[in-house]
A and B are shown apart, each in its own frame.
Chain A
Amino acid sequence: MTSLRRQFDRLSHLFLPLSVLVALLTINLVKGADYFKITMINGVFYGNIPNILFGASELVILSIGMTLVTAASRGQDISIGESGAISSAIFVQYVLNAGEVTIWTILAGFLISCVAGLVIGAFNGTLVSFFNVQPMVATLILFLGGRSIAFIIDGKVSPILANPISNQIGTVIPGVPIQTPIILTAVFIVIVAVAIKTTNLRLYVEAVGVNPSAARLNGINPKKVIFLTFLIMGVCSAVAGFIAVNKAGRHDSVNLLKFIMMDAILAVALGGNSLAGGKFSITGSIIGAYTIEVLNRTLLRLEVNPEAIKAFKSVFIIVLMVIASPVVRALARELLDKARAIVTGYSARQTGGLNKAAVSITDSSAKKEG
């Protein structure tokens, strides 16, 4: 019983994102009962659920990196969309200049773009960890200049990726019933999960996020850990850029992953993580990211006026954050406790144990005074 209770406490932070997700799915079900229907077209699954998984793939990957950065550096990286645009521009240029496109060219291009992501992460990380600049200010630099860099790498046009392999990565590989971005996202999540389970990353990041000076006294170098999280963020944005550019089929340096940092930060907050650093839950962030995608699609499905979608989204976020706020939670807990006390008092009276209850109450008050 106690272990079950502990298990429940451990997972209690997932309560908020999961309940929101369930609520949204319920709204969708009320709107039309065929929401979960999955059809098979040409040997591939399509439907609302696969579309959500497909649409949220970049956001999920970016929110994983954002969770780590937020937890360690107590700030947010607002240049993720731009760094994704730069690294994917390098990928596109490599593939277009490689001549014949094989799976190895794509792989090499992907690795090069990951290196570019690492460089960008190192740039941001150096500023944050060694120069002690607040993360949002440090990443403001690339936020301002990043799209122009991507535009120049592109050669001032938006190059088109017209080879069959890119097309397959962006949509489906023949013979595989699931769209490729979903598979890539799943693989990425598994890699991250294994890395977190097998290494001390979580412990170090949380220690630094909770108290950097205490972490330093315990032999953890906070600068190195923060730098590492920014490197991971760089790789995440490179992967997200890779998926996004293959999905789109062309590299549009102005609109690729535009303003996705807002959604990624929102996903981190929806997942029950504090934006002021410390303990983190990547599972929560992933659920949060999918929730945002479901929310976007739900608003479309409810035929909300496209101009008003943002307003509806904001109202939803505000209601959600109010429910999740510490003050409202404490209030709810108090009410619950009061209700429980009334119920137990009632049952005690029913069984004639009034005196016993009175004794226990006086006991507890005596203890308090003592």
Chain B
Amino acid sequence: MRLLNRGKPRTRLSNSTLLFIIAGIIFLLMYGIAIVSFPVSFRQFQTFFDFFNLNAALFITTLGMCIVIIGGGIDISVGAVCGLVTMACALLLQSGAGNVWGALFLALGIGLAFGLMHGFLIAYLEIQPFIITLAGMFLAQGLLTTLHKEPLNVTNPDFVALRRFTIEIPWLGTVNRLGVFIPCEIKPGVIVVVALVVLYAVLMKWSSFGRNLYAVGGNRHSARMLGINVKKTIFLSYVLCGLTAGISGFVFLMTTGAGNIGNGALYEIKAIAANVMGGIMLSGGVGNLLGAPIGTLTLLTINELIRAAGVQSNLQAIVAGLLLYLFIVLQSIIMALRDRREFRLALPPWLKPHRS
């Protein structure tokens, strides 16, 4: 290895990559623990796919939040916007005035409207993002309760067909007790999640918008010195986040099939926690977008593990908090050791980041 490295300049692992690797290791560790302690349920592939099937909306919300956090901001309205979209789409479909496409456009429109409002106020009027998105959250919640208060089941036949639609993976599955082979199933929401992850990862890695966003999140003033349009970049990041929240609302409706006041509740907090576990730092400019789904998976694995372990329901929150505490402390210790240059990760050459 030393021979290989001779003559080449030694590049340090970037903070984003390091945190991403830590997040990946933690996820594998948690899933490994889960498999070891509950082999019956966790060894089935369907359990893994069910994370995506049941929580597709959370994955999407986390992606949007991730983009805003990398740009150095925060958007705490995502959960409320998601809930508002579910209710608005449910109302539209139930009233018979619109079909599934109309509902999709409504979802995108609501998300876009919130994103544009947040982006304009935060980027061009320089108001603190926390306050504006808090107001956005209140607005979405208020509109939600004004629209409809009772749970609303969607019975539109097209939508029900879409909701019931599943994709079977014939070569992956389990044999049940009766000896019948059951293939794994994925829902259309999962495809949306995968498509968005790929799209956003490409956007963050190779587009000028993604690079600008990292620069702006890292240091706004030096980004401006470099000639980056800071305001436009921040504006676009909030628009994207709002749009993503709209999509997540539609996917949420596809998962549960009902508009409800409690839809998307606490998603903003879950999304922040998932991003932290995925190695995306809230101070901005550091983090790999792929860390967002990894962090969400870690969060869901922990929750499932606690539930499977039969922990009392009111202790679950405490255990989740303690595990979060452990991750946070671990991350911060590694970062501190790295600053003191006492921590060196010996990576195999094929895992080294590209030298450029």
Q: Chain B residues with Cβ under 8 A from A104's Cβ?
A: none
Q: Contacting chain B: which of A27-35, A176-184, A208-216, A306-314?
A: A306-314
Q: Chain B residues with Cβ under 8 A from A76's Cβ?
A: 130
| Cβ-closest chain B residue relative to A253 | B314
Q: Contacting chain B: which of A8-16, A143-151, A345-353, A354-362?
A: A143-151
Instruction: Let me know if A111 is at the binding interface, CB within 8 A.
Output: no
Q: B146: shortest Cβ distance to chain A, in Å? A: 5
Q: Chain A residues with Cβ under 8 A from B13's Cβ?
A: none
Whether the Cβ atoms of B139 and A311 lie closer than 8 Å is: yes
Q: How far is the CA of A276 from the CA of B273 in the complex (A)?
A: 21
Instruction: Let me know if B345 is at the binding interface, CB within 8 A.
Output: no
Instruction: Let me know if A266 is at the binding interface, CB within 8 A.
Output: yes
Instruction: Let me know if B328 is at the binding interface, CB within 8 A.
Output: yes
Whether the Cβ atoms of A132 and B336 lie closer than 8 Å is: yes
| Cβ-closest chain A residue relative to B314 | A148
**A276, A311, A313, A315 pick with most chain B CB within 10 angstroms:** A311
Whether the Cβ atoms of A321 and B139 lie closer than 8 Å is: no
Whether the Cβ atoms of A127 and B329 lie closer than 8 Å is: yes
Q: Contacting chain A: which of B41-49, B54-62, B118-126?
A: B118-126
Number of interface residues, chain B, beta carbon within 8 A = 47
| Cβ-closest chain B residue relative to A311 | B142
Whether the Cβ atoms of A275 and B132 lie closer than 8 Å is: no
Please pick, from A148, A265, A269, the residue contacting B315 in the complex, using a CB distance under 8 A: A148
Q: How far is the CA of A314 from the CA of B141 in the complex (A)?
A: 10
Instruction: Let me know if B203 is at the binding interface, CB within 8 A.
Output: no
Whether the Cβ atoms of B320 and A310 lie closer than 8 Å is: no
Q: Contacting chain B: which of A158-166, A241-249, A325-333?
A: A325-333
Chain B, range 116-156, C-beta contacts under 8 Å to A? 117, 121, 124-128, 130-132, 134-139, 141-143, 145-146, 149
Q: Chain A residues with Cβ under 8 A from B105's Cβ?
A: none
Instruction: Let me know if A274 is at the binding interface, CB within 8 A.
Output: yes
Supposing A134-B281, A310-B142, A321-B131 touch, asked if A144 and B121 sit within 8 A by C-beta, the answer is no
Please pick, from B74, B127, B321, the residue contacting A145 in the complex, using a CB distance under 8 A: B321
Whether the Cβ atoms of A144 and B332 lie closer than 8 Å is: no
Q: Chain B residues with Cβ under 8 A from A310's Cβ?
A: 138-139, 141-142, 145
Whether the Cβ atoms of A127 and B149 lie closer than 8 Å is: no
Instruction: Let me know if B226 is at the binding interface, CB within 8 A.
Output: no
Supposing A308-B146, A314-B139, A322-B127 touch, asked if A137 and B328 sit within 8 A by C-beta, the answer is yes
Q: Using an 8 Å CB-CB cutoff, how does the interface string of B50-69 with A read, 1 for contact, 0 for none?
A: 00000000000000000000
Supposing A137-B282, A156-B314 touch, asked if A317 and B324 sit within 8 A by C-beta, the answer is no
Instruction: Let me know if A18 is at the binding interface, CB within 8 A.
Output: no
Q: How far is the CA of A206 from the CA of B149 in the complex (A)?
A: 46
Chain A, range 128-148, C-beta contacts under 8 Å to B? 131-134, 136-138, 140-148
Please pick, from B125, B283, B324, the residue contacting A141 in the complex, using a CB distance under 8 A: B324
Whether the Cβ atoms of B332 and A308 lie closer than 8 Å is: no
Q: Chain A residues with Cβ under 8 A from B273's Cβ?
A: 140, 144
| Cβ-closest chain A residue relative to B76 | A262
Whether the Cβ atoms of A134 and B283 lie closer than 8 Å is: yes
Q: How far is the CA of A131 from the CA of B333 in the complex (A)?
A: 7
Please pick, from A132, A144, A156, A307, the residue contacting B324 in the complex, using a CB distance under 8 A: A144
Instruction: Let me know if A152 is at the binding interface, CB within 8 A.
Output: yes
**A138, A144, A269 pick with most chain B CB within 10 angstroms:** A144
Whether the Cβ atoms of A149 and B121 lie closer than 8 Å is: no
Whether the Cβ atoms of B125 and A312 lie closer than 8 Å is: no
Chain B, range 76-107, C-beta contacts under 8 Å to A? none
Supposing A269-B131, A308-B145 touch, asked if A141 and B126 sit within 8 A by C-beta, the answer is no
Q: B278: shortest Cβ distance to chain A, in Å? A: 12
Q: How far is the CA of A307 from the CA of B146 in the complex (A)?
A: 5
Q: How far is the CA of A309 from the CA of B144 in the complex (A)?
A: 11
Whether the Cβ atoms of A265 and B130 lie closer than 8 Å is: yes
Instruction: Let me know if A342 is at the binding interface, CB within 8 A.
Output: no
Instruction: Let me know if A23 is at the binding interface, CB within 8 A.
Output: no
Supposing A313-B142, A317-B135, A321-B127 touch, asked if A133 and B328 sit within 8 A by C-beta, the answer is yes
Residues in B lying within 8 Å of A, measured CB to CB: 74, 117, 121, 124-128, 130-132, 134-139, 141-143, 145-146, 149, 269, 272-273, 276, 281-283, 314-322, 324-325, 328-329, 332-333, 335-336
A-B CB contact pairs (8 Å), 9 listed: A141-B321, A144-B324, A265-B131, A305-B146, A313-B135, A313-B138, A314-B137, A314-B138, A315-B135
Sorted from nearest, which 8 A-B pairs have the closest CB atoms?
Answer: A311-B142, A145-B321, A310-B142, A314-B138, A314-B139, A307-B145, A131-B332, A314-B135
